[in-house]
A and B are shown apart, each in its own frame.
Chain A
Amino acid sequence: MVQWVTGVAVVLALAVAPAQRQQVLVSAAASLADVMATLARRYEMQTGVRVVVNTGASNTLARQITAGAAVDLFVSADEAQMDAVRAEVVSGTRVPLLSNQLVVAVAADRPRRMRSVRDLLDPSYRRIAIGDPAAVPAGVYTKAYLEKLGIWREVSKKVVPSASVRVALATVENGATEAAIVYRTDLATTRRAMMAFAVPLPDGPRIVYPAAVIATGHNRAGATRLLAWLQGDQAMKVFVNAGFIRGR
């Protein structure tokens, strides 16, 4: 009986969020986990402010915010999820922080040459993996782009919608599909897939990773300062090194 009571007390003690003044809680899309971890460390070293990074699928992050989670800064992988939480966004703070580039990836040991995305119509591409257009931001952009080119209907017959970009890449790596349409930053994570074609930025969809200060957080001032730093040259260098593009 005593142990049970003690256990509950410990759990409740853990529940009380630790001192929030000197920390900024950032919810960032999963694809940013690595780069945000690096930036968080650097920021803390420079300013002494602790940056706590929570990562996940952007739609999950959005739901956490609408449920009232005390997030200070939100960096989403697409505009739709940021729109979904617009009621929580501190007005005037939303910025297009980053952008990305769509690329076509193929297995590294079976390189192919592509001159344009239309090459995917060729029957030698039997299956093409993309992030699920219903849920994954990269998939949403891919579908929009292919629609704009007028080839979505044809290509969609070969499309294998994947739960995440990582999964899409995996199917290419192990040969289940001939090509995958992913972000450039995703390719950086694997050696077993390589780029066959990069959609030129002026032609491609306008991919945006919006960032905004969230009203439900405990440290609005800290979030504003962090966001400003993330847009600065030092942070941007880190983003670009990881394959991201400065937001426009």
Chain B
Amino acid sequence: MDGEIFEIAVFTTAAALAATVVMLPPGIALAWVLARHRFRGKAVVETLASLPLVMPPVATGLLLLWLVGRRGPVGHLLEPLGIEIVFTPAAVVLAMAIMGLPLLVRTARAGFEQVTRRYEQMAETLGARPWRVFTTVTLPLASRNILAGALLGFTRALGEFGATIVVAGSIPGRTRTLTVGIYTYTETGQDARAAALLVVSVALAFGAVLVANRLAHVD
């Protein structure tokens, strides 16, 4: 297998894994807040959390570009620290995480909603503080759903294209993911290369589904 193809495949998988790790804490926190709490502006938060799902990915990419570009609100804070996000693998991870987050939040939220409050109350009567209740009761009981959500987020990350290409560009060896590679090679008529990447993408997708099934059957 062509060295570059292998490199792209490894990079994409690693980035998708990193994106999944990155999206887990905020995703779980958001899912829990939405599942358990009522507050003013909740509808706004719900909408924001769903936005990447509903907006065209390129639009999300442009938004991210504005945000973390050196001129943007976040970017210009990071610049003096020597941190540039655009055109780096971090941008790939960021785009993947943002696009996968809504899926994780939805699935995890359903998981939390299913956990009966009564178990949490029982833990409270036994003296557990809120964080302990969350980590020893709520989270474990919702873990199946959270895992499913993480898997959804991961597969979404693997297939992410529109936002990635805007904020991370297409730089071979640095930010060229499977999807971006397929696009670039097709655009320049390198169909054989594009086809090879396609095969790898399909294989990875199969792998993800197999893992998902295995996890679903383990009790």
Contact = CB atoms under 8 A, between A and B. Distances in A.
A63 B90 contact: no
Interface string A1-29: 00110011011101111000000010100
A87 to B, nearest CB: 11
Nearest to A1: B25
Interface stretch (A90-98, A151-159, A184-192, A226-234): A184-192
B190 interface: yes
A235 to B, nearest CB: 18
A8 B21 CA distance: 9
Interface residues on A, range: 35 or more
Given A68-B69, A186-B189, A15 B90 contact: yes
B84 A166 contact: no
Given A30-B184, A60-B165, A189-B189, A67 B72 contact: yes
Given A11-B93, A25-B87, A52 B171 contact: yes
A63 B165 CA distance: 12
Best-buried of A12, A16, A37, A188 by chain B (most CB within 10 Å):
A16
A69 B87 contact: yes
Contacts of A27: 169
Interface string B47-76: 000000000000000100110011110011
B69 A67 contact: yes
Contact of A11 (B18, B78, B169, B184): B18
Given A30-B187, A189-B190, 11 more contacts: A11-B18, A11-B22, A15-B84, A15-B85, A17-B82, A37-B172, A54-B170, A67-B86, A70-B70, A166-B187, A188-B189
8 contacts: A3-B21, A11-B89, A15-B91, A17-B88, A27-B169, A67-B75, A68-B86, A189-B190
Interface of B: 18, 21-22, 24-25, 62, 65-66, 69-72, 75-76, 78, 82-91, 93, 165-166, 169-172, 174-175, 184, 186-190
